[in-house]
């Protein structure tokens, strides 16, 4: 009985809400947005 319960518990799989590739694309898009924001403010110190 105990082996059957532990065997059933070992097969529990939690599905991801979105495909794994989408996580990479979201991370890439977010990091590129931060890069562009940082790049936009690169010469603020020399203007004043």
Is 48 a member of any domain? no
The answer to whether residue 3 scores a pLDDT higher than 80 is no
Residue 28 in any domain: the answer is yes
Kindly state whether residue 6 falls inside one of the protein's structural domains. no
Total domain count, the chain: 1
Give the per-residue pLDDT at 1. 58
pLDDT at 31: 98
Any domain includes 33 = yes
Is there a domain that residue 2 lies in?
no
CA distance 4 to 6: 6
Q: Is residue 10 part of a domain?
A: no
Is position 37 within any domain? yes
Domain hosting 27: range is 18-42
- pLDDT tens-place string over residues 5-47: 666 667 778 899 999 999 999 999 999 999 999 999 888 878 7
Where in the chain does DSSP place strands (E)?
none
Residues 29-46, buried b or exposed e (16+ Cβ, 10 A)? eeeeeeeeeeeeeeeeee
Single out the residue of 26, 6, 31 nearest to residue 16, CA to CA. 26
pTM over 0.75: no
32 within some domain: yes
């Amino acid at each position: 009985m105990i082996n059957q319960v532990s065997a059933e518990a070992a097969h529990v799989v939690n599905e991801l809400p979105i495909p794994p590739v989408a996580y990479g694309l979201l991370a890439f898009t977010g990091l590129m947005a931060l890069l562009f924001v940082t790049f936009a403010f690169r010469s603020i110190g020399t203007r004043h």
